[in-house]
A and B are shown apart, each in its own frame.
Chain A
């Protein structure tokens, strides 16, 4: 049997990867979206591992919710990206600095 810690470490690695992608990626908004998805997957991984380990089905139920929400979020995110492209003619992250103070 694979120890719980292995799952958790996997989750952590996935999470770290996605953060690294978030911070290091300077090119494409789509990548950012993918990183968000990956982050959610890392969390899901933890949920499932704990759920299995504790024999508690609630964790897995939550995973379903998260998956659904993630899907919806991605859809909206992509839609925003499309609009963004339409308005700015770019989806380059480095050029999206309208929050600059």
Chain B
């Protein structure tokens, strides 16, 4: 079976790469139609193979950990490229190929008029390849390669419309902020290499408990030793913060919305941004050994879940609302990681992948219908023009708001309850409050967007009105494709993934004995229907309902209240509009500061002191010395002769004085004189 999995995994990973190469290098030759056919076909192959691998691993308990080739070898260290296919990987592969396939199809319609058509398909396939490389890795090196690969393609795709200033700024910012995360990541990998001597997951996981027990410490600052595992986990988590847009490295994600919408769905909602969450789950055997790291993950995740959601209240761009929503949901996933409810986090990751991609694609459909208008203030009442988009967006919004029995309910409720149950971890009380409030926030902002877009007065011009219509089938078909799991997947998968023992994640996720909160929750789980009914007794549900109702009240019933609120709470409004000042801080202090510092280094230290004073200065010193000495050179022949004679006399005199044999004396004594 391992051999089959290996072959299939190779197909899964390489098919998108082949598509990317074909569409990228030969796009001109192939033409638009053939390019998208080829890439979609290859994606379909990958998806099919991923389903097969899913069957082999999740249902038949297959497992693969094999080296493909030796990337490099150096002294004591070996770097491999290889696959580790277990249940977690299989789920991720399934999600990635599924969403990617739908996004490929969707893009046929969405990008139809774009001049960079083939390039777009090439990038999307390349992204899928990198993402698959990331999830199939059996070692940290390959994880990092995939990690950076998705970062690169994300950079390319955000800046896809490279003449748009906002887009290229957004892509630049995304890359740099991600790099800040990668800085931590690479330090973490270096620490793993140093303390474990290898980068292979299995070896590292096997050695980790011993290292934790040995109490090895790392003196980061002399006198303040850290447990090595805590250090490693935190360093790696910095990488996850960058990629998964956790506070304070979240600033790039809203700006990434300048890219084409299918990309926002695939990369910035469903897959890439969840790579950090995936990584923490994948490294659960290490994080489990460091309560400090878990606590940090929990607090950062919960903070992001609440506070980034709040910013969505004041956004007018439909995509930005969903982007802040993504930030908030990523916070939920991370919070789940923090309380060792990895399964719940990954479950939410998958459900979120479906309904958030759905929301983005639906938003894209709206944008397409509105002729690339993204401002919700210029929408409204689209319900009757775009019925399919309307219904699918509603499904996505309900799933996001965690209304039972939609998919989001099962995953998000599990997270909130897990955080509530895990009171032994420092910060869990705070996290619980954040997450429950977050439920209200989530429901409010997404239904605000929903009502503003699809209900109420039509605020667009008559000219636009003539063109507004439902999008073509290649666009709405993926919406339907994503809407189905957004409705049903939660109810179906909740039990086998979260509460069953062994769950469908099998041994791919490790939870330490005392930390298994999901096991305690499982005692109260009596089937999906009972769980859905149970919701009416919980706070998050009512928070969500209040959120929906207040969105309805403020957007449709009495819109004037909104202005009153804004006036009353103007300082909060100001903070939210400024997004807590992160952007300004980065722009002014970090970006501008670095540039200033660089200029100082260049103009003062390098150009002035080093180059002008020292180097050209020594040149000038030589020239000055020469200008003094040249005065000896009068140009008169008789001076030269005089000096020559003088020299001769001095020389002879020297010898006469200091040599033992005086030549002159001997000459005078000789017989000639």
Contact = CB atoms under 8 A, between A and B. Distances in A.
A4 interface: yes
B660 interface: no
Contacts of B645: 19, 23
Contacts of A22: 637-638, 641
Interface residues of A, number: 20
A26 B672 CA distance: 38
Interface in B659-673: 672-673
A4 B668 CA distance: 12
Contacts of A25: 638
Contacts of B634: 97, 100
B280 to A, nearest CB: 77
Q: For chain B, which range describes its interface: under 10, 10 to 19, 20 to 34, or 35 or more residues?
A: 10 to 19
Contacts of A40: none
B630 to A, nearest CB: 3
A34 interface: no
A99 interface: yes
B631 A19 contact: no
B394 to A, nearest CB: 94
A82 interface: no
Contacts of B72: none
B637 A32 contact: yes
B636 interface: yes
Given A5-B672, A53-B672, A101 B630 contact: yes
Interface in A1-52: 3-5, 8, 19, 22-26, 32
Nearest to A8: B672
Contacts of A24: 638
B641 A96 contact: no
Contacts of B636: 93-94, 96-97
Contacts of B629: 101
A32 B630 CA distance: 25
B633 A99 contact: yes
B637 A96 contact: yes
B307 to A, nearest CB: 77
B637 A101 contact: no
Contacts of A97: 634-636
A98 interface: yes
Interface of B: 629-638, 641-642, 645, 672-673
26 contacts: A3-B672, A4-B672, A5-B672, A5-B673, A19-B641, A19-B645, A22-B637, A22-B638, A23-B638, A24-B638, A25-B638, A26-B638, A32-B637, A93-B637, A96-B635, A96-B636, A96-B637, A97-B635, A97-B636, A98-B635, A99-B633, A99-B635, A100-B634, A100-B635, A101-B631, A101-B633
